[in-house]
Structure 1
Amino acid sequence: MSQRINGYAVAPEAYRIKAALEDYFKTTALEPSLIHLIKVRVSQINHCAYCLHMHREEALKDGDTEKRLLLLDAWRESGMFSPRERAALCWAESLTHIADSHANDADYEAMRAEFNEKDAVDLTFAIAQINGWNRIAVPLRQVHPQDKLR
């Protein structure tokens, strides 16, 4: 795959503004490990190789395990994820597939059972953020620097 446009080179200010929201997430009560799981799971759904490379490596660096990341696509069938993580992953899938799910009440209620109002809003923003990044990287065919044949 080859890159269509180097979006960062063409519109660095847009990237800078979007990236500023990433700093906000560091100030929230959301655990970094939870944010990593959301970023990887949403990127799996959206088939964003660039973001999968980046966020998997960040998750591992911050202490998550290869086993959990390998099972992330099957989190519903795995006992390796906490109730809080499961609620966040369910909400992430619901919002990523919003045209079909309409952010249904069952998914919302499951998320709210684990997240207070502020954390629910922060989680929703985090999910929207990674979906946005995916929707930039995939159509521009952004290539991760390590995305090479062995």
Structure 2
Amino acid sequence: MWRDSGLFTAPERAALALTEDLVRLSETHAPAPVVDAAVAAFGEDGASALICLVIAIGAWNTIGVSTRCWAVHARD
């Protein structure tokens, strides 16, 4: 949905694309052009910080789901 919106700046789009690809890593394998766009938008330090944040959020989500910190509902 964000890809179809004109409301995001180029750096925001780079962050969203990287986040989406890291969350779906087994499917996307973090393509080099997406990583390169994030580095171009944020520099190496900024892209590294973004990657660390996405990984940390994913880890906490995994911990929360696997330990049933909240009710898990089946999808229809």
For 1:126, the equivalent position in structure 2 comes to 53
For 1:52, the equivalent position in structure 2 comes to none
Instruction: List 4+ stretches of structure 1 deviating above 6 A.
Output: none
1:1-51: CA deviations, max 9, x gaps? xxxxxxxxxxxxxxxxxxxxxxxxxxxxxxxxxxxxxxxxxxxxxxxxxxx
Please report how far the alpha carbon of residue 92 of structure 1 lies from its aligned counterpart in structure 2 after TM superposition.
Answer: 0.6
Please report how far the alpha carbon of residue 143 of structure 1 lies from its aligned counterpart in structure 2 after TM superposition.
Answer: 2.4
Provide the C-alpha distance between the structure 2 equivalents of 1:117 and 1:103, rounded to a whole number of angstroms: 16
Report the aligned-residue RMSD: 1.5
1:63-101: CA deviations, max 9, x gaps? xxxxxxxxxxx1111112221111001001111111121
1:93 aligns with 2:20: yes
1:95-117: CA deviations, max 9, x gaps? 11111211111111221220111
Percent identical: 37
Taking structure 1 as the reference length, the TM-score comes to: 0.44
Question: SS of the counterpart of 1:89?
Answer: helix
Unmatched 5+ stretches in structure 1: 1-73, 145-150
For 1:83, the equivalent position in structure 2 comes to 10
- Equivalent of residue 35 in structure 2, options 84, 93, 108: 108
Please report how far the alpha carbon of residue 141 of structure 1 lies from its aligned counterpart in structure 2 after TM superposition.
Answer: 2.3
Unmatched 5+ stretches in structure 2: 72-76
Provide the C-alpha distance between the structure 1 equivalents of 2:18 and 2:11, rounded to a whole number of angstroms: 11
For 1:8, the equivalent position in structure 2 comes to none
Question: SS of the counterpart of 2:8?
Answer: coil
